[in-house]
Chain A
Amino acid sequence: MQSEKYSQYVDIMVPLFRALQNYRLGNLVDSYQAFEKSANAFIQEFRNWDSAWALDALHVVAYEIRVLAERADRELGAIGKNPEKLKGAGSFLMKVFGVLAGKGPKRVGALYVTCQLFKIYFKLGTVHLCRSVIRSIETARIFDFEEFPIRDKVTYMYYTGRLEVFNENFPAADHKLSYALTHCNSRSEANIRMILKYLIPVKLSIGMIPKNSLLEKYNLTEYSNIVLALKRGDLRLLRHALREHEDRFLRSGVYLVLEKLELQVYQRLVKKIYIIQKQKDPNKAHQIKLEVIVKALKWLEMDMDVDEVECIMSILIYKNLVKGYFAHKSKVAVLSKQDPFPKLNGKPVGS
C-alpha cells in the first residue's frame, strides 16, 4: 500500500532527474525524451487532482518542455536527423490543454498553455494549427476570458493579432494588437516593440500614423520613411523605403500590407495636386487632367502613360479613395465638389 501511494511520484521524479543529468551532460535529445516521460506521468496525476494546487508546476513543465524540445531539435538538426521533438512537445501540450479545459479551477491555466502552443506553431510555421485552440478559448463556454491572468491575455492577443495581420483582417488586428499594447507591462520594452512592429502597418492601413517619437523610442525607424511617404503623397519615397527594408518586412510578413499602402499614397498625391490647382484657380480645381498626374508621376521617377494613370484613377474611385467620375474622352477626372478625398476613419481601404 505504502509503495503504491507514492509510486506515481517515482514515475514523475526518476525521469525528471534523468532529464537533468542528461542536460548537464549536453545530451539534449535524451534529456528531452526523459523529460517528456516525466511530464506525461505528471499529467496523469494532475488530471486526478481536484484543486489547482499544482498549476505552478504545470506552468514550469509547459515552458520547459517547449524549450527543451527546441534544444533537442537543434541537436537533431546538427547530426543530420529529422527534428521532430518540438512537434512532439506540441502534441503533449494539446493534451494538457484538454485536461485544463473543464469546469474546475484548473481552467485558468489554459491560456498559458495556449500561448506556449502558439510559440511552438509559429516557430514551426504551422500556424493553421492555432485555429482549433483559438476556437476553444473564444467560443467554448468553459472559459471566461476575463478570468485569465493579464500576462497571458497580453501574450494571447499579441499572437492572435499577428494572425489577423497575416489574414489581412485589419479591424480585428487593430483591436487585438491594441489590447496587447495597452495592457502590456510598460517595462517590457522588447515586447512592446514587437507589438508595435505589427500594429504600425495595421494602423497605417486604416489611416492612422504613429508619431515619430514613438518610432524612435522603440527603434522602429524602418517605418519612418513609409510614414513620411504617406504624409507627403511621395510614391518614390514609398518604393524606396520598401526596397531598403525589404528583407526585414518580408521576414515579419508585413511587406504586402505596406505595399498596399500605395493606393493611399496615390490618394494623397492627387489630393495635393487638387489643392495646388485650387489655390491657382478655384473654379477649375475639381477637374484634374490626367496628363498633369502623369507629369507629377514622372517627376517621382514613375513612368506611366495616360492609360495607366486612368487605370489607377479608376481604382481610386472604385475603392472610394476618390469621389468623382471619369471623363474618358477628354481624359479628365471630375471630382465631387464635396469631400472628393474621403478619409478612411479607422476603416481599411475599400470596405
Chain B
Amino acid sequence: MINSCLCPLVIRGEDKGPEHSRIGGHKPTNRLEIFCVTVKFCQRFRMATEQPKVATEEAKIDLFEDDDEFEEFEIDQEWEDKEEGTDITQQWEDDWDDDDVTDDFSLQLRRELEDNTDKK
C-alpha cells in the first residue's frame, strides 16, 4: 500500500505534476513530499478499513440526508470536455406543441365534445 502511494507522487515530482503544484515554482523537499504521501496513505487506510456496520445504524437514525448528493470525481480526473455534451443537449424537443389531433386522446376528446352537442 505504501508503494502504491509513493510511486504516483515520485513520478508526479518530475514532469507530470498537476499544474497548480508548480505554479509557485517551488520544488517540494523530500520530507514534504513524504508528508503529502502520508496524507494520501491515510485516506487509503481509511477506505481499506471501512466499517460495514455503520450502514445498519443509518436506518434507525433520523438525520438529515441528501438523496441527490453528487458523486465525487477523482481528484486528478479530467475528461475530454469537448462537445461530447451535444449528444445529450439534443434530447429536448420544443416543437411538440403542434396542431396534430389524430392521437387517441384527441380523438376521444372530439367524441366527447360531439356527444354533448348531439344531446342538445
What residues of chain A have their CB less than 8 Å away from a CB belonging to chain B?
Answer: 6, 9, 12-13, 16, 19-20, 23-24, 26, 28, 49-57, 59-61, 63-64, 68, 71, 73-75, 77-78, 83, 104-106, 108-109, 115, 119, 122-125, 149-151, 154-155, 158-159, 162, 178, 181-188, 190-192, 194, 197-198, 203, 207-211, 213-214, 231-234, 251-252, 268-269, 271-273, 275-276, 279, 292, 295-296, 299, 341, 343, 345-346
Contacts and interface: CB of A to CB of B under 8 A. Distances in A.
B87 to A, nearest CB: 8
B4 interface: no
Contacts of B7: none
Contacts, number: 206
Contacts of B14: none
Contact of B91 (A77, A119, A198, A213): A213
B28 to A, nearest CB: 5
Interface of B: 18, 20-21, 23-26, 28, 31-32, 35-36, 38-40, 42-43, 45-46, 49, 51, 53-54, 57-58, 60-75, 77-79, 81, 84-89, 91-94, 96-97, 99, 101, 103, 105-106, 108-110, 112-113, 116
B109 A276 contact: yes
B89 A181 contact: yes
A82 to B, nearest CB: 11
The 5 closest A-B pairs by CB, nearest first: A51-B24, A182-B85, A105-B23, A51-B26, A151-B73
Contact of B78 (A108, A109, A150, A181): A150
B110 A51 contact: no
B114 to A, nearest CB: 9
- From DSSP, what is the main secondary structure of chain A's interface residues? helix
A341 B72 CA distance: 45
A154 B70 CA distance: 10
Given A209-B92, A210-B91, A211-B93, A276 B110 contact: yes
B61 A272 contact: no
